[in-house]
Amino acid sequence: MNPRRMLVPMVFAASLFTCVSFVGAQTANRSGVYLTAADYANGRLSFEGDCGAKAHKLEIHDVWNKPYIDVRHNSEKQRYSKSDLFGFRACDGRDYRFGSNLEYRIL
């Protein structure tokens, strides 16, 4: 088999893998809140920010099962009822849905 014929598919596969890895790395460093199901369907995050930034933080309060979350965005802290929100995106890039004051991962 001609080695040049194998070069094109290998370069294509490597570039595709690099692009997918780059996009995944970008979304994994951002978190935010989905206000509605339509926001989730459209990929529209509210209060979106970098996970490493001090001016941005989501406090879900999942240990004590509190009925609210605290959102720090641009150094302003606001409290939202879990029942009023659809869900959120965590810093690991995974999306979660609120139900009965608990969060469930959206697969």
Q: List pLDDT tens digits, range 36-67.
A: 999 999 999 999 999 988 889 999 988 888 99
Q: Between 7 and 106, where is the model more confident? A: 106
Q: Between 28 and 35, where is the model more confident? A: 35
Residue 85: count of CB within 10 angstroms of its CB: 19
Q: Quote the pTM value.
A: 0.70
Mean pLDDT of the chain, nearest integer: 81
Q: How confident is the model at residue 45, as a pLDDT?
A: 96
CA atoms within 13 A of residue 60's CA, in its CB half-sphere = 19
Q: How confident is the model at residue 50, as a pLDDT?
A: 93
